[in-house]
Amino acid sequence: MTFFVLPYQFGARCLATQLQSKKIYNSTAEALAAAKVKNGDKLLVGGFGLCGIPMACIQGVKDLGVKDLTVVSNNCGVDNWGLGVLLQTRQIKRMISSYVGENAEFERQYLGGELEVELTPQGTLAEKMRAGGAGIPAFFTPTAHGTILQSGGFAIKYNKDGSVAIPSQSKESREYNGRGYILEEAITGDVALVKAWRADTYGNLMWRGTTRNFNPECAMAAKFCIAEVEEIVPAGTFKPEDVHLPGVYVHAIVQANVEKKIERLTLDSGDAPVSPKKDSQAAKLRERIVRRAAMELRDGMNVNLGIGMPTLASNYLPAGVQVMLQSENGLLGMGPYPKAGQQDADLINAGKETVTTLPGSSIFSSAQSFAMIRGNHIDVTILGALEVSQYGDLANWIIPGKMVKGMGGAMDLVSSGSRVVVTMEHLAKGNRHKILNQCNLPLTGARVVDVIITELGVFSVDKSKGLTLIEKADDTTVDFIRQSTGCDFAVAEDLKTIQQA
């Protein structure tokens, strides 16, 4: 009798073939059936805005009709696309996300007591899933220390009369090296729905543009991961070093090519960036603020610019100044808006706007993005505000019971140790003060602001002594600025006129 010993490599190839054949499904319905999605499951869903969302899988969940879902995702799409379709069918019981944004139905259901919402800082959300996938049950972070997310009592669910039905719980805090941190528990889920560009037959994934965002973290943290991809290629097509996520995290692969929608198509038209109404007084005052904010930027800085007015600061960089703009959805080296016809649905910024990249740019996941932020590798953050206190407390993410936008990445950014510059109009509607002795709204961060820039003047912030007016507009007076400010402030001996880039 003759015996043959099979080489190890042959056995490994056979095993790989078996694994590959088990991961590919013909439809999202088949993949969801394999995942055994049921009522009450916790789904981890990738995407940022409408970029990199697994729309075919979301539609499959809608068709399946499962209810009482807890969904973990950065946001909830828009009213009629992305996860917004599951809100409309009332299949979601609880959302764990960082941003409500412009989803009117999301905000309406939450304020109306129909939906439970755990608003979570964007970087904390990414790290909660990364930690969950890495077997780490909890971690300490400086993000949200000193806010209502630490003390508890924030409304997870309202009663229909506007009272709080389910309050958030307080979180353990601890001090390290003289700085406060709070304990955050990791997130794991039953099923992950992620969207990738390409998969090989083993499940190794690649993304293009900024579609990576939360997708890898979702895949890592779930018991069963379904990857919706545009193309499936044979194992070995990718170089091992080009794989963005190893196939060990992926259990099912479905090929689907769904229309890619752009939430905010933003193009470089060659017009002045501040406002189409260039001759309006409001536009001129906003341009004054933005031009002054640009003076805070120095050559070689890594900078994060918030949504809205702060974003425009990059259009007024002083001559010879080059900076790397960071967008928290996973892009460092953000370029200008694209020309008409050159927009790419897979390349957006944190405001969901179409953008381009510059030479030397890099793209990464949300967890890596906030490691960069939280680790104090970003030099300056410029963002807007609803209120700022004399000691640098910042409130800019919610008006309880009235307006809910979510904190997005703001809590992470202001707790990072970077220089924080606030740009805002000096007064709110009705001439209400926005610079106060103490903030009335829930804080984004306690004692975090370094500079306040308004159309009336520029204040430096001392976290223990308060404000000093260091520059004023040439069309106003110190007395008028005092009348327009809800707290006392010192005036610099060498008070200057507002500088302009």
Active site residues: 328
Let me know if 5 is exposed, middle or buried by CB neighbors in 10 A (0-12, 13-18, 19+): exposed
CB neighbours of residue 158 within 10 Å: 22
CB neighbours of residue 270 within 10 Å: 6
CB neighbours of residue 369 within 10 Å: 29
Residue burial 388-404, b: 16+ Cβ < 10 Å; e: rest: bbbbbbbbbbbeeeeeb
Are 275 and 298 in contact by the 8 Å Cβ rule? The answer is no
Beta strand 116-119 with 92-97 is: parallel
Q: How far apart are CA 423 and CA 449, in angstroms?
A: 11
Q: What are phi and psi of 34, to 5 degrees?
A: -65, -35
How far CA 132 is from CA of 45, 135, 211, in Å, comes to 15, 5, 21
Are 467 and 388 in contact by the 8 Å Cβ rule? The answer is no
Alpha helices in 222-296 (DSSP H): 281-294
Q: How far apart are CA 238 and CA 429, in angstroms?
A: 56
